[in-house]
Amino acid sequence: MTVTTDAVVIGGGVMGTSILYNLVARGVQSPVLLERTTLGAGSTGRSSGAIRMHYSTEVNAALAWESLKTYENFDDVIGGGDVGFVRTGYMVFVPGHATDGFRHNIALQQRVGIDTQIVSSEEAGELAPAFARFDGEVFAWEPRSGHADPSGTGLAYATRARELGATVLLETPATGVEIENDRVVAVTTAGERYATSTAIVATGPWSKSFLAGIGIDLPLEATRHEVFLLRRNVEELPSHPGGADMANMTYFRPEAADLTLVGNGNREEFADPDTYNPRPSMDYLEDVWLRLSKRLPGIAGAEFFTGYAGLYTSTPDLHPVIDRVDGISGLYICTGFSGHGFKLAPAVGTVVAELVLEGKAKTVDISALKMDRFERGETNTTSYDFKVIA
């Protein structure tokens, strides 16, 4: 059977659902989202949910900043429910040898309009007394940053999109994209053919294989990352802001009343999205906990609560691909968000909808995210990259 629709979004993570909402909110008639299993089943459901602004390139900083404005008032701006945004403030720590790059990044972020500033060690101590500070380190403080619920965000986007007329189909993997005369004509599933002129691929860690199936080879890798939750002794350590510690290679944030979530940037393994091990490793827990306790000494007295692993989807420059495919009219790609897609998702949905409907992204200039940049050798790698971090 054939169903006809204006647009098909493939993948029900936070990107696909944000794109779906942004399309239907701009008047696309009855778009369809196809999800292989359930909403948030990929990286989104395992995301740490940290929302911070510290980036070394304008495009990521601008996408994060635009998105924060949505997260702060999600239910008013989008609808679909509360996504649990909690403003904790966020501190970024760098060791003395990296301060030039750090200052460069902060100046870039401030030019974008982000509320961030370098603070002295004394100010850092007043803002976040729980954090240890060391000689020569530099600190930045983002007062508006925090965290939110990634699965809840995907669900809220999908809920609102459905209210506006979109269809969200679960347990319905897309099996291919039909292309005739260099144009998208349909997206197929096992039981249905969706005739459409617009297909948007937002398949997270499955993107490399899905795109290969339609003859597109992108340098994407899925890598496994672990996250741990520790239950604080709240008498010793009542709470703390979020943070990224470039010296000890951890990022962390409070969760609910007495938990601290910690992730890290020093161990990643290539992984197959269909077979990777989602469980935590106890040897790594010890290592990460020790590194966290260097910055957050009061966490030494916590107890292990739980842990899990999820997948990043990364390109060689750790920036996403958001682009239309040259030579195939109506085909768009939105993938490769590594460890920072959640915080970018509201603005990503906006720019993808602009790209599809107006031919060009307007809210943020995404020309740095084109898919052919790797062949052209024009990547977003800077000498000021800090690779921690979610």
Q: Does 342 participate in binding ligand FAD (rule CB under 6 A)?
A: yes
Provide CB contacts within 8 A for 52, sequence distance 6+: 64, 90, 92, 142, 145, 242, 244, 343
Residue 57 carries which DSSP code? S
- Contact between 50 and ligand FAD by CB under 6 A: the answer reads yes
Structure tokens at 140: 């930045």
Q: How far is the CB of 154 from ligand FAD (least distance, A)?
A: 7
32-34 and 167-169 beta bridge pairing: parallel
Tokens representing 187 are 């997206």
**Which of these ranges, 111-119, 121-129, 203-211, 362-370, lies near ligand FAD under the rule CB under 6 A?**
203-211
**Is the Cβ–Cβ distance between 66 and 42 less than 8 Å?**
no
Rounded Cα distance between 143 and 91, Å, is 9
If binding is defined by CB under 6 A, does position 84 make contact with ligand FAD?
Answer: no
Binding mask 318-337 for ligand FAD (x = CB under 6 A): -----------------x-x
> Which range, of 12-20, 156-164, 280-288, 299-307, touches ligand FAD by CB under 6 A?
12-20
Output the CA torsion sign for 33, 39, 42, 46.
positive
Specify the stretch interacting with ligand FAD by CB under 6 A; choose among 80-88, 192-200, 201-209, 290-298. Answer: 201-209
222-251 residues near ligand FAD, rule: CB under 6 A: 225, 227
Indicate whether 340 belongs to the interface with ligand FAD (CB under 6 A). Answer: yes
Of residues 94 and 390, the one with the C-beta less far from ligand FAD: 390
48, 70, 109, 315: which one binds ligand FAD (CB under 6 A)? 48
- Looking at 24, 41, 68, 161, which residue binds ligand FAD (CB under 6 A)? 41
Q: Does residue 36 bind ligand FAD (CB under 6 A)?
A: yes
Binding to ligand FAD by residue 310, rule CB under 6 A? yes
CB of 301 to ligand FAD, least distance (A): 25
User: In the structure encoding, which two tokens stand for residue 67, read together?
Assistant: 């998105």
x/- contact string, 113-152, with ligand FAD (CB under 6 A)? -------------------------------------x--
Neighbour-count burial for 241-250, b at 16+ CB within 10 Å, e otherwise: bbbbbbbbbb
Phi, psi for 46 (deg, rounded to 5): -115, 10
Q: How many residues bind ligand FAD (CB under 6 A)?
A: 43
For 274, other C-beta atoms within 10 Å of its C-beta total 9
Q: How far apart are CA 206 and CA 220, in angstroms?
A: 9
Which of 24-32, 44-52, 78-86, 285-293 is the region at the interface with ligand FAD (rule: CB under 6 A)?
Answer: 44-52
Position 85 contacts ligand FAD (CB under 6 A):
no
| Min dist. Cβ of residue 348 to ligand FAD (A) | 9
Token couple for 316? 């060689």
> Beta-carbon neighbour count of residue 253 at 10 Å?
26
Q: Tell which one of 7, 8, 9, 10 touches ligand FAD (CB under 6 A).
A: 10
Q: Are 252 and 296 in contact (CB under 8 A)?
A: yes
CB of residue 310 to ligand FAD, shortest distance in Å: 3
Instruction: Report CA-CA distances (Å) from 167 to 88, 96, 227, 309.
Output: 35, 52, 33, 30
Q: Is the dihedral of CA 304, 309, 310, 316 positive or negative?
A: positive
Task: For residue 173, state whether it binds ligand FAD (rule: CB under 6 A).
Answer: yes
Q: Please give the angle made by the CA atoms of 202, 206 and 208, to the nearest 5 degrees.
A: 90
Residue 62 in contact with residue 36, Cβ under 8 Å? no
- Residue from the set 11, 152, 243, 265 that interacts with ligand FAD by CB under 6 A: 11
Q: Supply the minimum distance, in Å, between the C-beta of residue 22 and ligand FAD.
A: 13
Which residues of this chain interact with ligand FAD, rule CB under 6 A? 10-16, 34-37, 41-44, 46-50, 150, 173-174, 202-206, 210, 225, 227, 263, 310-312, 335, 337, 339-343, 390
